[in-house]
A = this chain, B = another copy of it.
């Protein structure tokens, strides 16, 4: 059916016996149009299967409809969730999502991204954590004429396009819940220095402990790297404490899995003797044994909000949107052994 070329606005105009401009008015839903003319043209469009050329449109409008997703996130589940969330929002628009995984440690990082944005003339970019914490990068993107939306752990100090999760409160709530079911001796595995998420979760832990009237014992607190191995290392340290913790909050699932692995290896029964809570709700969390209780970002909702901020004009979009995470209760956290007796 399509001979060799796609129909253009000229073809539509010629066949409908009107000018290009009138067809353009139909495409853009201009109000100043005779209903009969509109219907005639719409019939021709449908007949020809005409689709406006986005490149030509972008050229004439001096703006384009590509939004970039820049990330260096190790959590594949999350990245894909974001992609899906963005897509749901832009599905029926003329925007498209172009992705750019990057290496945060590359010395050419900024240049790479600059070329990417300039080459594609991106309309806007979305930054995922942890690279979303790079202010220099965000500034560069803005300077290049992009709208920038950052996703991350709440950082209320900056009033800009931001979609954040209130990790602090989510962690505090989870820790308080542990206290409610009877835990008194709760350990913590922090994330690496320099990550805002790690810092927020640390503060959240302290908040939760304070709210529960519990004190933080440095002997059952460790700092990890967000990697599996560091969770194992933390287990070696924390399980040797006296008395040992009855519950552990790990700042992400990988470390929780590492901790769990070691604890199980040491013959500790989970959750009967030890409760573990993670953060992120990665695919792994549901598939390890026992299934991990964990805190989950409302990823898709956040991504949808971020995409809306990006494609919607107006200053309302510059208000940060803060989301609260949920605790996904699985089998790795339960009341402590002594609590059952105390009840």
Contact across chains for A100 and B87 when beta carbons are under 8 A apart: yes
Residues of B within 8 A of A119 (CB): 51, 54, 94, 96
The digit string for A114-136, where 1 denotes a CB below 8 A from any CB of B, is: 00101111000000000000000
Residues of B within 8 A of A264 (CB): 289
Chain B CB within 8 A of A319 CB: no
CB contact under 8 A between A99 and B97, given known A79-B76, A119-B51, A119-B54: yes
Closest to A87 in B: B101
Residues of B within 8 A of A282 (CB): 283
A79 to chain B, nearest CB (A): 6
- Choose one: B51, B260, B287; the contact of A284 (CB below 8 Å): B287
Assembly CA distance A98 to B118 (angstroms): 16
Contact across chains for B94 and A97 when beta carbons are under 8 A apart: no
Q: Kindly report how many copies of this chain are found in the complex they form together.
A: 2
Chain B CB within 8 A of A83 CB: yes
The 5 residue pairs across chains A and B that have the minimum distance between CB atoms? A76-B76, A55-B58, A51-B118, A76-B80, A284-B287
A residues 278-303 touching B (CB-CB < 8 Å): 282-284, 286-289
- The secondary-structure label for the interface of chain A is helix
Give the interface residue-count category, chain A: 35 or more
Contact across chains for B101 and A120 when beta carbons are under 8 A apart: no
Chain B CB within 8 A of A327 CB: no
Chain B CB within 8 A of A257 CB: yes
A residues 165-179 touching B (CB-CB < 8 Å): none
Closest to A62 in B: B5
29 A–B contacts, CB within 8 A, in A order: A6-B145, A51-B119, A53-B121, A54-B119, A55-B58, A55-B64, A56-B59, A59-B59, A66-B96, A66-B98, A76-B79, A76-B283, A80-B80, A94-B119, A96-B116, A97-B99, A97-B100, A98-B99, A99-B99, A228-B286, A258-B287, A260-B289, A261-B287, A265-B289, A283-B284, A284-B287, A284-B288, A288-B288, A288-B289
Chain B CB within 8 A of A326 CB: no
A284 to chain B, nearest CB (A): 5
Contact across chains for A287 and B101 when beta carbons are under 8 A apart: no
Assembly CA distance A80 to B102 (angstroms): 12
Chain B CB within 8 A of A77 CB: yes
CB contact under 8 A between A98 and B101, given known A287-B257, A289-B289: no
Contact across chains for A101 and B84 when beta carbons are under 8 A apart: yes
Residues of B within 8 A of A121 (CB): 53-55
A310 to chain B, nearest CB (A): 15
Closest to A81 in B: B76
A179 to chain B, nearest CB (A): 28
Contact across chains for B120 and A96 when beta carbons are under 8 A apart: yes
